[in-house]
Structure 1
Amino acid sequence: MRFPPRITRIGAAAAVLSALLVGGTVAATPASAAVGSICYSDLPSQAYDTLELIEAGGPYPYSQDGSVFQNREGILPSQSTGYYHEYTVITPGSSTRGARRVVTGQDYEEDYYTSDHYASFDLIDYDC
């Protein structure tokens, strides 16, 4: 289950387009510059499992899965508390949760992948 259900996809590109349409300016922020993208087909197979569990609403392998992601690093676009949630992507051979996560936003298909425990994020591109 998504928290709450996703409706539309809005990201940094939408903010830029909006500003251009109304004649405003857009300041480059470290958060928007630090988020890359990754093709869905390039994710590790365990990330597919995690995304399927998210769509199904669980059950999740770890009790922390589905918890609110605070974005303390400030890498993802700034949102209100509760906007982002995190889920473990199992790392084969690891005795712990490992460093890989999927972080979801409330917007439709706003899913981010990190392989380095929040040091960097890639927005998952479902169209490639």
Structure 2
Amino acid sequence: MTRARGLSFFVALSVLLGACGKDEPRSGGQEPVASTSAAPVSPAEAVREAQVRQPDATGERKRDGLATVQIAQLPRQAVATLRLIETSGPFPYEKDGVVFGNRERLLPRHPRGYYHEYTVPTPRARDRGARRIVCGGPKKQVDDCYYTDDHYATFKRIAD
């Protein structure tokens, strides 16, 4: 019975994600060539693929495929956090400013240590909540910042 449940979960997951293509074999140290299959291979890629398909409020997409959000459209707590980032704090949470690993690979790829994360306070939350701002480059620079309100499942590039 357990094996049948596991098999039906796998079948349902396969239907949800579609058939995954195989990568071409590597040769001479080159990167693998992706198959022509339109189905994403991992859950993180599925989220990224969904973000690329949906246009943002202005109808435009950045080169990285992420939607954009204007500063005026952010919650007031996020705007306050951006101002703290610009002035280098002080930050209300001990973990603010720590390196963000980009394990989900939803943000453009950069060397480890490029991105730092900051908590956006959530009213009435007993913990840090799910809202974050992730900025790349020097800590005082807010030119390359992203907002997430679902704990890194999706990101929007913050535009001036």
TM-score for both structures, normalised by structure 1:
0.71
**Match in the other structure for 1:61:** 92
The answer to whether the aligner puts 1:115 opposite 2:145 as a matched pair is no
Q: Is residue 50 of structure 1 aligned with residue 81 of structure 2? A: yes
1:42 Cα deviation after fit: 0.3
Corresponding residue number in structure 2 for 1:102: 133
Structure number, greater radius of gyration: 2
Please list every run of at least 4 consecutive aligned residues from structure 1 whose deviation after the TM superposition is greater than 4 angstroms. none
Instruction: Tell me what 2:24 maps to.
Output: none
Note the C-alpha offset of 1:36.
1.3
Unaligned runs of 5+ in 1: 1-26
Identity %: 50
- CA deviation after TM superposition for structure 1 residue 35, in Å: 2.0
Shift of 1:112: 0.3
Q: Could you state the TM-score of these two structures normalised by the residue count of structure 2?
A: 0.58
Q: How much does 1:86 deviate?
A: 0.2
CA displacement, residues 60-119 of structure 1 (integer Å, 9 cap, x when unaligned): 111100000000001001110000000000000001000000000117511100000000
Question: How many positions carry a matched residue from both structures?
Answer: 99
Q: Does 1:79 align with 2:79?
A: no
Counterpart residue number, 1:21: none
Greater relative contact order: 1 or 2 (C-alpha under 8 angstroms, separation 6 or more)?
1
In structure 2, the residue matched to 1:91 is 122
1:39, CA displacement in angstroms?
Answer: 1.1
Tell me the amino acid that sits aligned with residue 48 of structure 1: V
